[in-house]
Amino acid sequence: MKTKGKIIALLLILAFVSCEKDANNVKVPQFGHKLVVTSFISPHDSVSFVTIDSNERLYGDLSDTEPLGSVIVTISDGMKKIDLKKGNIQYYFRRKDMAIRAGGTYNLEVKSNNGLRADAKCPIPFQRNLNITADTVYIHHSNPEAGSWSELKIKVFFDDPAGEKNYYCIEGRMLDYNRFYGGYPYITDLHNEDEIWFSDEEYDGKRIFANSFSSQYNPSTSDSVKAVIYILNTNKDYFTYHKSLTNYSGGENPFSEVSPVFTNINGGLGIFAGFTVDSMVLRLK
């Protein structure tokens, strides 16, 4: 019986091995070398950055990379055009070189001496006073094993400007000035309980509930505590790109529908988008 079992196992191994075949004469899709451009600009930034890279191969020798060559990056506001400076890993320009203005439109161009070209256009939303307000609630918890602690909840509301399509992102941070941290605040992100990316669809011109934030908070150990709420008023491409990142699927599940990442770069890949910011500071202690 043992001999019979060994023979069956050997036959199974040979069967599996015989199923393996070398794939010869397979035509690999031709690689199309493209520039990958990433940049987000805002009137609130004193320095603006542009990251330039190239796309990667999906087939063939993945270690075989194409050099970018010498790259020139320019930006124009319709009246003035400047060359960006080359940093360690990014290209950049300062506000004194070209100021990003709310309501303006900017054109970005990238050229490489190996023939690659890409360009994109970015409109900046107008700066709006969103009249941000917040309701705060302290919840005290007590547990015989874990002890007691306090939880801060912040509900944020704002006014949507009427008569225009708006896209938003909301973020919150806590600044804890504590003697244990010296003269610098200990900064943590507030936990958002709802979607941070949203539009004013069906809420044009209305008062909007933006999000609820929460954080564990112990005021007895802090000298001063502030919560800062930021609402970004973004252009449509900025919103669409980040929403596509949230929904992105690289196709790991072969039975799922692939959701690609949004791009607005002509002749290449990536994103060039902008935003303005309104904010509110809550002094908690």
What domains appear along the chain, each with residue ranges and CATH number? 35-127+241-250+257-274 (2.60.40), 133-236+276-283 (2.60.40)
51, two tokens: 């990251």
Phi, psi of 158 (to 5 degrees): -155, 165
Residue 131 confidence (pLDDT): 97
Please answer whether residues 123 and 271 qualify as being in contact, where contact means their C-beta atoms are separated by less than 8 angstroms.
no
pLDDT tens-place values along the chain, 285 residues long? 555 555 555 545 545 554 555 555 555 555 567 899 999 999 999 999 999 998 765 554 445 566 778 999 999 999 999 999 999 889 999 999 999 999 999 999 999 998 899 999 999 999 999 999 999 988 887 777 766 777 889 999 999 999 999 999 999 998 888 777 776 788 889 999 889 999 999 999 999 999 999 887 666 677 788 899 999 999 999 999 999 988 765 545 444 444 578 999 999 999 999 999 999 999 987
pLDDT at 254 (0 to 100): 45
Give the up-direction half-sphere exposure of residue 183: CA atoms within 13 A in the CB hemisphere. 0
User: Up-side HSE of residue 107: CA atoms within 13 Å toward CB?
Assistant: 9
Containing H/E element for 272?
strand 269-283
Coil vs helix vs strand at 113: coil
| Predicted local distance difference test score (pLDDT) of residue 250 | 54
Does the predicted model carry a pTM greater than 0.85?
no
